[in-house]
C-alpha cells in the first residue's frame, strides 16, 4: 500500500475521530454544567443521586462504558443500538460530562461569596449574578484543567475501536493486519500529535485572551 493510499485511508478515520471529538465536546460541555448544578443542589436527594452517578462514571473504565452502552439496550431491553457511532457518542458524552461537571464545580465553588453578595445588594437576580458576574470568572479559572481533559478526549476517541467504529486507530490497525506493514501505526500517531498540538496552541491562545484581568 502506497503512502498516498494510507494517507487517504487514515484521513477517512481521522474524519470520524474529529466528528466524535467535536460532537462529544459540544454536547458534554453544557451537560457537564447541568450535572455540576445537580451535584451542588440544595435539594439533597438530587445532590446525592448526582454524586453517586458521577462516582460510578468516573470510577469505571470508559471502555467498559462504551461496551455497556452498545450491548445493554439490545441484550436487556431487546432494543438493539441502531448505530455504533451513536453508542460511542452517548458513552463519551456522559463520561466527559461527569469529568467536566467536577471541573465546573471546582470553578464555581472557588468564586468568593462576596461576588454573589455584591450582586445581591445591587438588586440583581440569581440568574443575572450567575451569567453576568460568576460564569466568566469560572471560565477563566477552568480553562487549564479543561484543556487537559480536552486533549485527553482526543486520544480517548481511539477507544471507539472496541465496538468497531472505523476511526483513526481502527483503520490504521486494519492496514497493519491486512498488509503487514507497521509504519501506518506511527503515521496515525502523528495525526493525533498534530491535532493535539494545534489544540494546545488554540487553548493557550484563549487562556492568554482572558488574561486581561487577574483574580
Partner 1 sequence: MAFLEVKGIKKNYGSLQVLKGIDFSLQKGEVLAIIGSSGSGKTTLLRCLNMLEIPSEGSFYLDGELIYDAVRHVKANDSELRKKRLHFGLVFQNFNLFPQYNVKQNIMLAPKLLRKKVVSAAKKDLRKKKLNVVFYPLRGSKKNFYNLLKEEKNKLLSEEKYFAEKLSSQAEELLAGVGLSDKATAYPCQLSGGQSQRVAIARALALEPDVLCFDEPTSALDPELTGEVLKVIRGLKSSSRTMIVVTHEMDFARSVADKVIFMADGVIEEEGTPEEVFGNPKSEKTKAFLLKAEDRI
Chain positions contacting partner 1, by CB under 8 A: 112, 114-115, 117-126, 128, 132-133, 136-137, 140, 212-215
Of the pair 58, 132, the CB lying nearest partner 1 is at 132
**CB distance 160 to 79 below 8 Å:** no
Of the pair 133, 162, the CB lying nearest partner 1 is at 133
* CA 69 – CA 82 distance, rounded (Å): 12
92: helix, coil or strand?
helix
CA distances to 39, 170, 199 from 32, in Å: 10, 29, 21
Q: How far is the CB of 123 from partner 1 (least distance, A)?
A: 5
Of the pair 77, 213, the CB lying nearest partner 1 is at 213
**HEC per residue, 116-136:** HHHHHHCCCCHHHHHHHHHHH
Q: How far is the CB of 36 from partner 1 (least distance, A)?
A: 20
Q: How far is the CB of 60 from partner 1 (least distance, A)?
A: 38
Q: How far is the CB of 207 from partner 1 (least distance, A)?
A: 14
Of the pair 45, 123, the CB lying nearest partner 1 is at 123
**CB distance 107 to 138 below 8 Å:** yes
Pick the closest to residue 33 from 139, 104, 127, 129 (CA basis): 104
Of the pair 43, 77, the CB lying nearest partner 1 is at 43
Of the pair 76, 214, the CB lying nearest partner 1 is at 214
Q: How far is the CB of 140 from partner 1 (least distance, A)?
A: 7
Q: How far is the CB of 64 from partner 1 (least distance, A)?
A: 41
Write down the H helix ranges in the chain.
Answer: 3-39, 44-59, 62-77, 84-110, 113-121, 126-128, 135-156, 168-179, 183-209
* CA 130 – CA 40 distance, rounded (Å): 14
Amino acid at each position: 500500500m502506497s503512502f498516498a493510499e494510507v494517507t487517504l485511508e487514515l484521513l477517512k478515520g481521522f474524519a470520524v475521530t474529529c466528528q466524535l471529538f467535536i460532537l462529544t465536546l459540544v454536547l458534554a460541555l453544557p451537560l457537564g454544567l447541568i450535572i455540576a448544578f445537580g451535584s451542588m443542589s440544595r435539594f439533597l436527594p438530587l445532590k446525592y443521586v448526582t454524586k453517586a452517578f458521577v462516582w460510578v462514571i468516573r470510577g469505571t473504565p470508559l471502555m467498559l462504558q462504551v461496551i455497556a452502552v452498545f450491548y445493554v439496550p439490545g441484550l436487556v431491553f431487546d432494543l438493539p443500538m441502531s448505530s455504533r457511532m451513536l453508542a460511542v457518542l452517548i458513552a463519551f458524552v456522559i463520561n466527559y460530562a461527569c469529568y467536566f461537571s467536577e471541573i465546573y464545580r471546582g470553578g464555581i465553588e472557588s468564586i468568593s461569596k462576596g461576588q454573589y453578595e455584591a450582586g445581591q445588594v445591587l438588586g440583581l437576580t440569581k440568574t443575572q449574578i450567575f451569567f453576568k458576574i460568576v460564569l466568566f470568572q469560572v471560565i477563566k479559572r477552568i480553562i487549564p484543567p479543561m484543556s487537559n481533559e480536552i486533549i485527553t478526549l482526543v486520544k480517548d476517541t481511539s477507544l471507539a475501536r472496541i465496538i468497531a467504529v472505523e476511526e483513526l486507530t481502527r483503520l490504521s490497525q486494519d492496514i497493519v493486519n491486512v498488509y503487514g506493514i507497521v509504519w501506518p501505526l506511527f503515521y496515525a500517531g502523528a495525526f493525533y500529535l498534530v491535532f493535539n498540538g494545534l489544540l494546545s496552541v488554540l487553548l493557550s491562545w484563549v487562556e492568554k485572551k482572558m488574561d486581561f484581568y487577574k483574580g
